[in-house]
Amino acid sequence: MIFDTAMLRYLLFMPLWLLLSGALALADDPSFTVSAPQRVAEGERFRVTWTLDARPDDFQAPSFNGFRRISGPSTSSSTSTQIINNQVTTTVSYSYTFVLEAAEEGTFTIPPARAVIDGREHASESASVEVTDGPATSAQPSQPRQEERGDTRPGPDDIFIRAEVSNSSPFQGEQIIISYKLYTRLSVQNYNIERLPAFQGMWTENITPSGQPSVTRELIGEDIYNVAEIRRMAVFPQRSGEISIEPMEVEMAVRIRAADSRRPGSPFDDFFGGSPFSRYQTITHRERSEPVILQVERLPAEGRPEDFTGLVGNFELRADLSPDNIDVNDAASLSVTLSGEGNLRMAELPEVSFPRHLDIFDPQVTDDIRVSSSGIKGSRQFEYVIIARSTGDFEIPALNLSYFDPGSRTYRTQEAGPFSLRVHGELLTGSDAPGRRSGRWQTEDIRYIHTGSVNWQSAGDLFYKSTRFFLLAALPLILLIVFLIIWKKHMQSNADIQGIRIKRARNAAIKRLKHAERMLRDNQREAFFEEIFKALWGYVSDRLEIPVSRLNKENVASAFASRHIPSDLADRFLEGLYECEYARFAPMGEERPMDITYEKALDTIVTLEKELRKNNTKR
């Protein structure tokens, strides 16, 4: 019996265990993808890349029948780490790239590649590549490539811009998508949109994806073009009739083959196919798209609802009342949400008829509008705050929203509601009416008459008639006048350049003499005489406007003579300089008394300042 029970459990749980193991193994299968162009020209080189999200133990490339293998595999790996909500996610990627050359015309299938990961073999998808006849065999000899013409400018079929319209006959207010694409058979280094269309009579929004535009390949006739979408716009015509959209102008840097006459190559370049440095050049080229003509249809008058406000698109209306059972003076919320695809930014609020005895506040508008390459879609929410001022059952009528659906070419009406609001509780009046209830402050739209006793107090003298009021009122004007007087004196003193130099010379001399006095007390002989020397030289340089580079005894004597300084004072100044120099460089044992030198220097500067002031006064 025990054996039968064990076997029964084994038979029951074994299939479940195998199913779970298979699901886990399937969930753990690594990603193994292949990327290759869908269409190439005969003789063109292109890349085929296999990508895995796990490190392979072994990689086996398939056979490339119909193609010549130029190089590969070149391997690369990358690791990215993301931290979202405190969760760390690490992603790894390993790629194997081959460079192939299309050998012949036709459609070829590249078989799956195989890789061994953790002892298990995995296979990728196959890739199909169509090889078209090369441009050199084009059946349009009148429009050859730029390389064949030998021109230094791109031809009309080398590079051009197309404007593609999702619907050239829209209704008024209907959303359409206009895509501007750059087609090129040349190498475009960069581009810049010089002039955008004006889009007169239309409401527009830019929906161009961010970053560099993705490049695809497109076959036109027998030529393969690289195609990049450089601008994408969502357009809403605001009037009916014919609307012309101006061309878009783009300036770009294009790399073209240079004419041989401009810079001929060497014989070795000719033999080996030419030097890339001498055969190509980058030029600035301008292109413009063709104008776009729209035939905008007028919205039909037949079947137009009375509450139609001009909304065109595909929309849904939802509304919710929460809570629907409240106490008097409490608040409820009516949320109205309009969602869909169209010009939601111009959507108007549906009209709501609220019963009496309900206080309604202006709605709060919340937009959740998403812009993508397919157009504008999202939602717009209107939230009403309702406060009940009396008890009873209140009925909020249904909300209606009318719009025109261009897909069915008919008017549609969305309806939400009606809603029932039950208000209960005791209605309080007079001074007992609550200012706060259920933890929420309510609006005090009525201030009730006070019926109790009042303690009246004397208000006293009015402040605006007091002396302190007039003093405080005049204080800013007094401070302004004082500030202007001080500022004027400051500006005048700054304008007097000579006065500034005199003041600076006097202050610098006083500062150095104080420093020398400190050296005198500390018996620092060499520092003392050096400071006296600098005080004398610095004073004369600033006071007599003699540059430091021209400061010598001859120029100082000449400056003294030109300012009529007595000769004995000039001799005393020069003698002070001589004593400082001698004391600094005199041999030991011939020390001069520092206090006498200090008194002579101070007396010389004071006397010299008096003489210079006296001479300035005479002038």
364: which residues sit within 8 A by CB, 6+ positions away? Answer: 382, 383, 385
The C-alpha atoms of residue 94 and residue 122 are separated, in whole angstroms, by: 14
Q: How many domains does the chain have?
A: 4
Average pLDDT of span 374-379: 86
Average pLDDT of span 293-305: 90
Query: Does residue 183 surpass a pLDDT of 90?
Result: yes
Structure tokens at 59: 């990689």
Pair 530, 579 in one domain: yes
Closest CA to 375 of 403, 348, 406, 341: 341
Q: Of 266, 296, 326, at which residue does a domain stop?
A: 296
The C-alpha atoms of residue 563 and residue 611 are separated, in whole angstroms, by: 9
Element spanning 603, H or E:
helix 594-618
Query: Does residue 180 surpass a pLDDT of 90?
Result: yes
What mean pLDDT, rounded, does the chain reach? 78
Q: What is the CATH number of the domain that holds 542?
A: 1.20.120
Pair 165, 292 in one domain: yes
Pair 544, 578 in one domain: yes
Element spanning 204, H or E:
strand 202-206
The pLDDT value given to residue 2:
40
Average pLDDT of span 20-31: 53
The pLDDT value given to residue 593:
77
Q: Does 522 reside within a domain? A: yes
Residue 231, Cβ density class (10 Å: 0-12 exposed, 13-18 middle, ≥19 buried):
buried
Please name every residue paired with 46 in a beta bridge, in sequence order, or none if there are none: 100
The C-alpha atoms of residue 254 and residue 192 are separated, in whole angstroms, by: 12
Q: Does 287 reside within a domain? A: yes
Pair 218, 272 in one domain: yes
The pLDDT value given to residue 165:
92
Q: Of 296, 329, 361, at which residue does a domain stop?
A: 296
**What would the pLDDT profile of 79-89 be if each residue is shown by its tens digit?**
777 666 566 67
The C-alpha atoms of residue 195 and residue 371 are separated, in whole angstroms, by: 23
Specify the amino acid at residue 609. E
**What would the pLDDT profile of 114-143 be if each residue is shown by its tens digit?**
888 888 888 888 888 888 875 433 333 334
Please name every residue paired with 514 in a beta bridge, in sequence order, or none if there are none: none
User: What pLDDT band is residue 458 in, cutting at 50, 70 and 90?
Assistant: low
User: Left if phi > 0, otherwise alpha if psi is -120 to 50, otherwise beta: which for 404?
Assistant: beta
Helices (H), 325-392: none
Q: Does 609 reside within a domain? A: yes
49-53, 88-92, 190-194, 355-359: lowest mean pLDDT where? 88-92
The pLDDT value given to residue 437:
41
Pair 288, 411 in one domain: no
The pLDDT value given to residue 441:
41
Q: What is the CATH number of the domain that holds 115?
A: 2.60.40.10
Query: Does residue 542 surpass a pLDDT of 80?
Result: no
User: What pLDDT band is residue 308 in, cutting at 50, 70 and 90?
Assistant: confident
The pLDDT value given to residue 12:
52
Pair 201, 232 in one domain: yes
Q: Does 303 reside within a domain? A: no
Structure tokens at 252: 């770009």
96: which residues sit within 8 A by CB, 6+ positions away? Answer: 49, 50, 59, 61, 72, 73, 74, 75, 113
Query: Does residue 446 surpass a pLDDT of 70?
Result: no
Look at residue 489 and give its three-state secondary structure. Answer: helix
Greater model confidence, 402 or 357: 402
Closest CA to 291 of 343, 252, 242: 242
User: What pLDDT band is residue 249 in, cutting at 50, 70 and 90?
Assistant: very high
Pair 281, 146 in one domain: yes
Q: Which DSSP category does 591 fall into?
A: P
Query: Does residue 514 surpass a pLDDT of 80?
Result: yes
Pair 214, 337 in one domain: no
The C-alpha atoms of residue 255 and residue 477 are separated, in whole angstroms, by: 71
Q: Of 96, 115, 132, at which residue does a domain stop?
A: 132
Pair 188, 216 in one domain: yes
Pair 288, 158 in one domain: yes
DSSP string, 350-362: PP--PPTTEEEPP
The pLDDT value given to residue 591:
63
Greater model confidence, 209 or 442: 209
**What would the pLDDT profile of 192-234 be if each residue is shown by its tens digit?**
888 888 888 888 888 888 888 888 888 888 788 899 999 999 9
Specify the amino acid at residue 117. I
Average pLDDT of span 45-71: 85
- Contact indicator for 449, 442 with CB cutoff of 8 Å: no
DSSP string, 151-188: -SS--TTTEEEEEEES-SSPBTT--EEEEEEEEESSEE
Q: What is the CATH number of the domain that holds 388?
A: 2.60.40.740
Cα 247–253–255 angle (5° rounding)? 125
Taking the CB of residue 124, how many other CB atoms lie within 10 A of it? 19
- Contact indicator for 320, 335 with CB cutoff of 8 Å: yes
Q: Does 454 reside within a domain? A: no
Pair 536, 600 in one domain: yes
Sign of the C-alpha dihedral computed for residues 135, 139, 144 and 149 taken in this order: positive
Average pLDDT of span 506-524: 82
Query: Does residue 386 surpass a pLDDT of 50?
Result: yes
127-141, 206-220, 289-303, 340-354: lowest mean pLDDT where? 127-141
Q: Does 311 reside within a domain? A: no
Q: Which residues of 516-552 are buried (b: 16+ CB within 10 A; e: fewer)?
A: bbebbeeeeeeebbbbbbbbbbbbbbbbbebeeeeee
**What would the pLDDT profile of 35-50 be if each residue is shown by its tens digit?**
888 888 877 878 888 8
The pLDDT value given to residue 27:
43
Q: Does 209 reside within a domain? A: yes
Look at residue 468 and give its three-state secondary structure. Answer: helix
Query: pTM above 0.75?
Result: no
39-53, 322-336, 444-458: lowest mean pLDDT where? 444-458
Pair 128, 145 in one domain: no
Structure tokens at 557: 């004597």
Sign of the C-alpha dihedral computed for residues 342, 345, 347 and 351 taken in this order: positive
User: What pLDDT band is residue 271 in, cutting at 50, 70 and 90?
Assistant: very low
Q: Which domain holds residue 182?
A: 141-296
The pLDDT value given to residue 448:
60
The C-alpha atoms of residue 350 and residue 400 are separated, in whole angstroms, by: 7
The pLDDT value given to residue 65:
83
Q: Does 488 reside within a domain? A: no
- Contact indicator for 407, 314 with CB cutoff of 8 Å: yes
Percent of the chain with pLDDT over 70: 77
Average pLDDT of span 246-267: 71
The pLDDT value given to residue 590:
56
User: What pLDDT band is residue 147 in, cutting at 50, 70 and 90?
Assistant: low
**What would the pLDDT profile of 559-594 be if each residue is shown by its tens digit?**
777 877 787 777 777 777 777 777 766 655 556 678
